[in-house]
Structure 1
Amino acid sequence: MKFTQFLKTRGAIAAIFMGIFYAVAMLGIFLPGYAAIPGNVDKLPIAIVNDDTGEYGAKIADQLEKNLPFKNIETDVANKQALKDLEKNELALVVHIPKTFSEDMQKGETSSSIDFTINEAGATTISSTMKSVVTEINNQLSTQFSQQTAQGVLMNFNVPKEQASELAKKIETAYVGNVVSINEVPNGMNNNMLPMFLTMAGYTGAMIGAMQLVGAFKENRRKASKTRLFIYVQLTALLIAVVASLAATGIAYIINDPSASKFLSIVGQQILNYMVCFNFTAILIFLVGEGGMILNLPILLIQTLANGATMSREMMYKPYEWMSHISPMYYSVQAYFAKLYGSISPSHFIWPLIAVGGVAILINIAIVAFIHKPVPVENSVSEDKMESVKNETEVTA
């Protein structure tokens, strides 16, 4: 065989096609997706809560609302509700100006500072961006209030010398911003990315498993009814889900060492994640065969951006945002953030994940029932008898 003949073989053509297709798909999906950072930071929702009864609070709230680079700023929400929304990652930052802020500032006291609250149990881009924004805000406010305090000192220039040092301290400490981080994630990128890695481990395994099990389904059509084979496929997938989930969770505990009390909960979600992803990716394979894997790859790549681990829905471009609403990976990642590091129930994301899986399995049932044509099932009893007669004939001979 010549090299040119080898290049024309099915395997060589498939390898060449996949090499080009995967490179184009990966770069064509990742580069536009990540272009949303930091360009779409202004779409992040934040809340400014002003409880101050004096003049400073209103001025600061108005100044922040005009100068902060965010288009969606809530100002008519109570601090308690804003913090609840922050827990659910429905807000990216909560700025709270306390009731006695103006009074304390006029007295030169720093006991009542502005609180900037950030939820770290969410997309990495949001927490890092909010910290940078808060640092800049605090620097500007510190300069502003120091200048105002200095003006007050100059107006009372003829003060005794013994009070000079105290006034100088007031100028230096006229304003101190209080950065509050809730649901802190342990140090290490492995901890921050654990929700995404657990989800991707289940998704990729389920996608490859779907290709193999649907292939087995088609190969054995003459040996059993399509209904029975479909049930066998689901049972086998469930068996794999249990074993693979135990292995994945075990590795996560060896490396990341999360709370021991969450072990069964993580295993349970990982099993659910596998089964949902299995049926989600099996749709195209049941529909178009092995070629469905070619279509599944771009869908996987889109979900790595649309799963909310790196950026929130508000920052995503529309195609990625649309995908997040039907993506098993999005709901699984968010549920893991809530389960591992958050203080809210993950059920807010688990139920949509179940819904996606339920719709996927119904679609697969419909494909098998209406698109896959009936195939006559060979009589296994007759085959056994024929084999027995053949064996007896060979022994007699």
Structure 2
Amino acid sequence: MQFKNFIKSKGVLIAFLAIIIYGISIFFIYNSGYSGMPKQVNHLPITIVNQDQKAQNLTQKLKSAVPFKDVKVKTNLNDAKRDFKSQKSYMVINIPSNFSSRVKHNQKAKLNFYINDSVQSTVASSMNQAASRISSNIDKNITVQKSKAILIQSQMKKLNVAIQTKQNEMKQEVAQQKAQIAALPVAQQQIAAQQLQQKVNDAQKQSQKEIQSKKNQINQKVNQVYTPVENSISTNIYHENKIKTGLNRMLAPFFANLAIYLGSMLGMLLLYSVYAKYAKIIGRVMSFIDLELTIFLLSIIGSLIVSGVIALQVGNLNSGFVNLFINHAILAFGAYNINAIAILLLGQMGTGINIFLTMLQVVAGAGMVPVQAMNGFFKFAHNIAPMYYGIQSDFSIMYGGQLLSNLWEPAIILCIGLIVVNLIIIIFRKNQPMTDFSSLG
């Protein structure tokens, strides 16, 4: 009978509404706010500055290769940098004036990228990724071109030696024939000299044709050798647990758990008033039992409604709606209880500590930064953060990943541990600090 009165209290109703309203509204705000990223990144303007007149072909290739729709081509680097500083352009690709010359002579050629890091992290990240991809592709192409140039130069040296030998032989032959002409009668020398000159001219023309033919053959053979190399330069990318385009989808597990956690934090503040009122009537332990039963019911019902709304916005779930609902119920139950610790100790003033703990869990939850990249404190803190297990489970449920049992088991153990801690607190904390919220009962 006492539980019936407890659960009918105004504070319980407000706590129930809090988890639903906060859960849905906060998730909707973040989900809709980030839905334009990164699919809108390709609309950001960039600039290609070509200072090398011989690199027009490279400029066109770059323009067609970059994943951006608004690409300006200029020749003045200072002008481009002015646009860059005023954020009229988000990346500048500079082809220096000596680029083609250095490539041709097998020297190190530089292609310069200018990226502004003082912008939104998603924009900076997208620009860095684009620059890395472009640089990698150009490096491969230039490597092939340099290798071709080296092989062609080697073959040309051999050809030049052969040409020089043949020219020396021809000079010797001409000298011998001139000596023979000099021994002829004067009347025959002019005719013989004209015939020799014609023969030399014909030989030179034939030699030039042969030289050009051999040069063409060298180029053709080198191209044939490197055609398989050029064609083999490709990358296969296989995506596991692929997420549809949209930063909102990438961050959906984080936003969903943060929304539920915030709703639970506010709900616990309200539930404490009801607990404190009934602790005076039925005793601390019985009121605590009623409190935990109420938390259990709110976690089930609230998570069912919030998860339904989240599932509609996210779309197809990898592991189904039931798992999403169970995960959010575990999270909500753990969130209520971890927020209860400071409030049971300090009353409503404990909310200040809970806000601080929420900020810690935003990091420890590993929704934005992986555990491997955290410092030692957060690597430890994630083990006792309900949001961590909730976020990682949501990644698996929404998009696929690790086994849920590996996450749910420690999450449930954590919930049990939190109940024990709260039970110890109410046993030794005989008086409940109260701000005047007793009217909520």
SS in 2 for 1:179: coil
Residues 1:342 and 2:400 aligned together: yes
| Counterparts in 2 of 1:132 and 1:235: CA distance versus 1, 3 Å | farther
Residues 1:256 and 2:256 aligned together: no
Q: Distance in 2 between matches of 1:149 and 1:174?
A: 15
| Counterparts in 2 of 1:210 and 1:146: CA distance versus 1, 3 Å | farther
Query: Is contact 1:339-1:345 (8 Å) kept?
Result: no
Q: 1:180: Cα distance to partner? A: 2.9
SS in 2 for 1:266: helix
| Counterparts in 2 of 1:323 and 1:240: CA distance versus 1, 3 Å | same
Q: 1:165: Cα distance to partner? A: 4.7
Q: 1:371 aligns with which of 411, 424, 429?
A: 429
Partner residue, 1:223: 281
Q: Distance in 1 between matches of 2:354 and 2:266?
A: 10
| Counterparts in 2 of 1:368 and 1:160: CA distance versus 1, 3 Å | same
Q: Distance in 2 between matches of 1:351 and 1:134?
A: 41
| Counterparts in 2 of 1:362 and 1:284: CA distance versus 1, 3 Å | same
Partner residue, 1:271: 329
Q: 1:202 aligns with which of 251, 260, 264?
A: 260
Partner residue, 2:391: 333
Query: Is contact 2:318-2:400 (8 Å) kept?
Result: no
Residues 1:181 and 2:236 aligned together: no
- Count of aligned positions: 252
| Counterparts in 2 of 1:220 and 1:313: CA distance versus 1, 3 Å | same
Partner residue, 1:238: 296
Q: 1:139: Cα distance to partner? A: 5.1
Q: Distance in 1 between matches of 2:379 and 2:123?
A: 17
Q: Distance in 1 between matches of 2:123 and 2:362?
A: 14
Structure 1, gaps ≥5 residues long: 1-122, 375-397
More displaced 10-residue stretch of structure 1: 259-268 or 354-363: 259-268
Q: Distance in 2 between matches of 1:340 and 1:179?
A: 22
Q: 1:296 aligns with which of 336, 354, 376?
A: 354
Structure 2, gaps ≥5 residues long: 1-121, 157-215, 433-441
| Counterparts in 2 of 1:358 and 1:147: CA distance versus 1, 3 Å | farther
Q: Distance in 2 between matches of 1:210 and 1:252?
A: 22
Query: Is contact 1:279-1:360 (8 Å) kept?
Result: yes
Q: Distance in 2 between matches of 1:317 and 1:332?
A: 21
* Per-residue deviation, residues 247-282 of structure 1 (Å, max 9, x unmatched): 211111222212386111100111111001111111
5 Å matches for 1:112-123? none
RMSD: 3.3
SS in 2 for 1:329: helix
5 Å matches for 1:74-113? none
Q: 1:306: Cα distance to partner? A: 2.4
Q: 1:311: Cα distance to partner? A: 1.2
Q: Distance in 2 between matches of 1:354 and 1:129?
A: 41
Q: 1:299: Cα distance to partner? A: 1.1
For the pair shown, which has the larger CA radius of gyration, 1 or 2?
2
SS in 1 for 2:239: strand
Q: Distance in 2 between matches of 1:241 and 1:155?
A: 77
Q: Which has the higher contact order (CA 8 A, sep 6+)?
A: 2
Q: 1:181: Cα distance to partner? A: 2.5
| Counterparts in 2 of 1:214 and 1:135: CA distance versus 1, 3 Å | farther
Query: Is contact 1:246-1:267 (8 Å) kept?
Result: yes
Return the letter of the residue paired with 1:360: L
Partner residue, 1:324: 382
Q: Distance in 1 between matches of 2:124 and 2:406?
A: 22
Q: Distance in 2 between matches of 1:127 and 1:345?
A: 31
Q: 1:159: Cα distance to partner? A: 4.1
Query: Is contact 1:335-1:347 (8 Å) kept?
Result: no
* Per-residue deviation, residues 280-339 of structure 1 (Å, max 9, x unmatched): 111111111111101110111122122211111232344443432321111211111122
Q: 1:221: Cα distance to partner? A: 1.8
